[in-house]
Amino acid sequence: MRRVKLRLAGLLVEFTDREKALAQVQEWAERGTIQPIVIFGPEGCGKTALLRQAVHVLKDAGYTVFHLYPLDRIFEADIEEPDIRKAFLDLAQRALSEDSLGRVAWAVFDFIREALKRKKRKIAVLADDVFQVIGVQNAAAYVKGLLNMIEHPLYDYENIVAIVATSEGVSRREIARHLWANLMPIWNMPKNGFQELYEKLPHPKPDYEKAWSLTGGNPRILSILYEKKWDSNTTVGELASKKRLTAFILSLNPQEREWLAEATEDPDKLFTREKLPLLDKLVDLNLIVDTLASRDPQLWVDQPPPEKDPQLGIGRHIAWQTPLHREAVKKALEEFAR
């Protein structure tokens, strides 16, 4: 299988590891997806990279593939009919110029219908973080549209694969209210696979165990630390600023701040009824992933996280997205207490 080249800290590196995830994509290619697959996980864990590699898996399996990366302002159609491809790209270009990227996300249904009207075929749509451009309130409707495409097509097809990736905890809650999608979590990279990525970065760099303890296997955090010359204090400060954690902590009452401090030591402390409102706020800020599935590999894309890892901030039910997310909250709490 040809591996795509991706940017990591300004370097061009080959797609690394995720062997189990690629085997899952190959299985979906063979059978099709009876529901849309909605992949959710920490920001920067590699969902976009996986989708870009999945395009090649599906193309090799004979699929016509529409792939959407609206936050990167990229829309592509791998289809043999040049007029359909041109019309799709023209629409995408207009949407880009008018800053109305959500139009392309919705229009893909029309292009898929047109493609199937021309001939029966295998067709796939891969969409990365589309909920941010169509509005989280429309996430469930979008997934329902994908499901209708699979269950009630206007034109017959050989197979359909529909995969959507999101890091938005709010959108996941919206989608989970219905039985319209197969929600599958993905975690940061496993330790051995992440080391392959780490080895591709040039020196100087800390020893691998130190890099692992800072990132928890998250490629984006690895990239940021590399760009910051491994200055974790600066990186934590910037993360706290971007998440507006000082204002967030100011909005909490004393009891909630105490609960938050406890959660930096053990995130599962949030898994109680009275703390659910605080937990929801942390999910909305993309600081925490809540209600983690059991570690049954069948429920996860790629390898699940460990059952519990206090060093990385992973509990049985709840986990900090990365160790640095936890450290950013700790820093904000300390500054508030001064």
How does DSSP assign 144-174, residue by residue?
HHHHHHHHS-SS--SEEEEEEEE--HHHHHH
Domain at 148, CATH number? 3.40.50
Tokens of 187: 């975690």
Is the pLDDT assigned to residue 330 strictly greater than 80? yes
Please compute, for residue 257, the number of CA atoms within 13 A of its CA located in the half-sphere on the CB side: 18
Q: Which pLDDT band holds residue 167 (cuts at 50, 70, 90)? A: confident
Do 196 and 164 lie in a common domain? no
Q: Are residues 329 and 304 in the same domain?
A: yes
Q: 15 and 145 in one domain?
A: yes
The range of the structural domain enclosing residue 267 comes to 191-337
Could you report the per-residue pLDDT of 272-309, keeping only the tens digit for each? 999 999 999 999 999 999 978 899 999 999 999 999 99
Boundary of a domain, candidates 151, 185, 219: 185
Total domain count for the chain? 2
- Mean pLDDT of the region 91-109: 95
The DSSP H or E segment spanning 65 is strand 64-69
Domain boundary among 185, 216, 247: 185
Q: Do 273 and 206 share a structural domain?
A: yes
Q: Is the peptide bond prior to 204 cis by the omega test (within 30 degrees of 0)?
A: yes
- Segment 119-150, tens digit of pLDDT: 999 999 999 999 999 998 999 999 999 999 99
Residues 26 and 164 in one domain: yes
β-sheet bridge partners, residue 127: 68, 164
Residue 196 shares a structural domain with residue 180: no
Closest CA to 326 of 232, 254, 253, 247: 232
For residues 207 and 125, membership in a common domain is answered with: no
198: which 2 tokens?
A: 């780490």
Model confidence pLDDT, tens digit, residues 176-226: 889 999 999 999 999 999 999 999 999 999 999 999 999 999 999 999 999
Model confidence, pTM: 0.94
Question: Are residues 141 and 204 both part of a single domain?
Answer: no
